[in-house]
Amino acid sequence: MKLGLTILLLMVLTGGAYSQDKLFQTDANLPKPRYGFIITGNADFDMPAGDMAKSFGLDYRVGFGTLYKSKKNWVFGAKCDFILGNDVKNDSLMINIRDQYNTSWNGKYVEFINSGGTRVAVPIYERGYSIGLEAGRIFKTSKYHPANGIMVLTSGGCMRYKIVIYNSNKDVYQIRGNYLKGYDRLTNGIFFEQYVGYVYFSKNRLINFHLGLDALFGITQDRRDYLYDVMHTDNKQRLDILYGLRGGWYIPMFRRKSEDLLFD
């Protein structure tokens, strides 16, 4: 009997303490979003669409930037991405000067007869960059982790890309110096980009990343006055699209609060 009364008393006291904790747990006791600057490193794996799909195959982007995150989880900053690809689809490229017996097109290199009368393979690449400003917000998915959640970012700026024709030995006279400008399809213009993904910041600041879906839309135009291989200009407006998977690593430089220093 005494044992039963003792257990009952302990249950009442424990329940009362638990109820008291719940009673005094308010939003003021919950962790607040940290704020400050973030150094970003990003990478994309892209599928081209629109006019860009006529010129290039799969490519990828790597870049860096900086963001400022506010107390309200708004973010804004600047970024730069480099466009890298090894699949050129334009099979008319340099058709007027390349080796006439090289009838196959693989989008990786073009064969020429060099100045010494030898057949050489000259690699070709897609290379470019985009640079601009970005802004958005993190929508928290848990009140206990207010800096983590779904991040929506909108970006805008300028982009530029071309076909790099890499004749390292400079032994093909037709593509030396200014002659290259008639073949490289230099293109530039403005872009708008939309990103939606999940962002995570660990409490110890060691694991901080984001991963999501990205779509870039470029309004561009070829900037060369004359294309030697097709013997005409190409000044029509282009719609270049890149969409795919984007992720990256964050290095936060958040301001530390006094309670962090006491209770970390």
Q: Residue 25: what pLDDT? A: 45
pLDDT at 242: 98
By CB atoms closer than 10 A (0-12, 13-18, 19+), residue 233 is exposed
Range of the domain at 197: 35-93+124-256
The total of other beta-carbon atoms located within 10 Å of residue 257's CB is 12
With beta carbons less than 8 A apart as the criterion, state whether 165 and 175 touch.
Answer: yes
List, for residues 48-63, the tens digit of each pLDDT value: 999 999 999 999 999 9
How many distinct structural domains can be found in the chain?
1
- Mean pLDDT (the chain) is 86
Q: Is residue 107 part of a domain?
A: no
Q: Is residue 22 part of a domain?
A: no
CA 120 vs CA 82, 91, 113: distances in Å:
29, 18, 6
- Kindly state whether residue 108 falls inside one of the protein's structural domains: no
40 domain-assigned: yes
d(CA 207, CA 200): 8
Residue 79 placed within a domain: yes
Q: How confident is the model at residue 257 (pLDDT cuts 50, 70, 90)?
A: low
Who wins on pLDDT, 247 or 234? 247
Residue 98 lies in a domain: no
Is 4 inside any structural domain? no
Residue at token pair 């099979």: 91
From CA 71, how far away is CA 149, in angstroms rounded?
Answer: 14
> What is the C-alpha to C-alpha distance for residues 65 and 33, in angstroms, rounded to an integer?
21
Calpha distance 245→106 (Å, rounded): 26
User: Which residue bears the tokens 């936060």?
Assistant: 252
**Measured distance CA(255)–CA(208) in Å, rounded:** 16
Mean pLDDT of 60-70: 97
The terminus-to-terminus CA distance of the chain in angstroms comes to 46
Query: Would you state the pLDDT for residue 34?
Result: 86
Q: 82-123: per-residue pLDDT in tens?
A: 999 999 998 889 999 988 887 778 889 999 999 888 999 999
SS3 71: coil
Whether 18 is covered by a domain: the verdict is no
CA 147-149-153 angle, 5° bins? 95
In angstroms, what CA-CA distances link 249 with 95, 156, 160, 222, 239? Answer: 43, 21, 25, 34, 30
- Are 190 and 221 contacting, i.e. CB atoms less than 8 angstroms apart? no
User: Above 70 in pLDDT, residue 22?
Assistant: no
Confidence grade of residue 144 (pLDDT, cut at 50, 70, 90):
confident
Which CATH number do you get for residue 193?
A: 2.40.160.20
Select from 95, 91, 132, 100 the least CA-distant residue to 119.
100
